[in-house]
Amino acid sequence: MERRQLEYFLAVIDHGGFTAAANALHVAQPSLSHSIKVLERELGAELFHRLPRGVRLTAAGEALIASARRTLREMETARASVRDVAGLVAGRLDLVSLPTLALDPLADVIGRFRRKYPAVQVRLEQSELGDDVREAIRTGAAELGLADASPRAIDELESRQIGTQELVVTLPPGSPSPRDGRIGIEDLLTKNLVTGFSGTLVRDLLAAEAERRGIDLNVVVEVGHRESALHLVVAGAGCAVLPRPLARVAELEGAVLASVEPVLERDIHLIRRPGPLSPAARGFLDLLLD
| CATH number of residue 57's parent domain | 1.10.10.10
Q: Do 170 and 82 fall within a single domain?
A: no
| 66-75, 134-143, 152-161, 235-244: least confidently modelled range | 152-161
Looking at the chain, the whole-number percentage of residues with pLDDT higher than 70 is: 96
Burial of residue 247 (CB within 10 Å: 0-12, 13-18, 19+) is buried
More confident position, 220 or 79: 220
Domain boundary among 70, 86, 102: 86
Question: Does some domain include residue 243?
Answer: yes
Question: Does some domain include residue 258?
Answer: yes
pTM of the model as a whole: 0.68
Given pLDDT bands bounded at 50, 70 and 90, which one contains residue 128? Answer: confident
Structurally, how many domains does the chain consist of? 2
Query: Which residues partner with 195 through β-bridges?
Result: 222
Domain boundary among 29, 59, 86: 86
pLDDT at 227 over 50: yes
Question: Does some domain include residue 210?
Answer: yes
pLDDT at 145 over 90: yes
3-state SS, one letter per residue, for 76-101: HHHHHHHHHHCCCCCEEEEEEECHHH
pLDDT of res. 88: 47
In angstroms, the CA 174 to CA 119 distance is 47
The answer to whether residues 268 and 105 touch, using CB atoms and an 8 Å cutoff, is yes
Question: Does some domain include residue 229?
Answer: yes
pLDDT at 132 over 70: yes
User: Coil, helix or strand for 65?
Assistant: helix
Average pLDDT over residues 231-260: 93
pLDDT of res. 74: 85
Given pLDDT bands bounded at 50, 70 and 90, which one contains residue 173? Answer: very high
Looking at the chain, the whole-number percentage of residues with pLDDT higher than 90 is: 61
Domain boundary among 35, 67, 86: 86
Question: Does some domain include residue 109?
Answer: no
Task: Tell me the residue range of the domain where 193 lies.
Answer: 163-266
Q: Do 167 and 81 fall within a single domain?
A: no
Question: Does some domain include residue 57?
Answer: yes
Question: Helix 130-139 vs helix 59-85: angle between axes, to the nearest 10 degrees?
Answer: 70
Q: Do 256 and 170 fall within a single domain?
A: yes
Question: Does some domain include residue 110?
Answer: no
Question: Does some domain include residue 147?
Answer: no
CB atoms within 10 A of CB 196: 23
CATH number of the domain that residue 168 is part of:
3.40.190.290
pLDDT at 151 over 70: no
CB atoms within 10 A of CB 160: 11
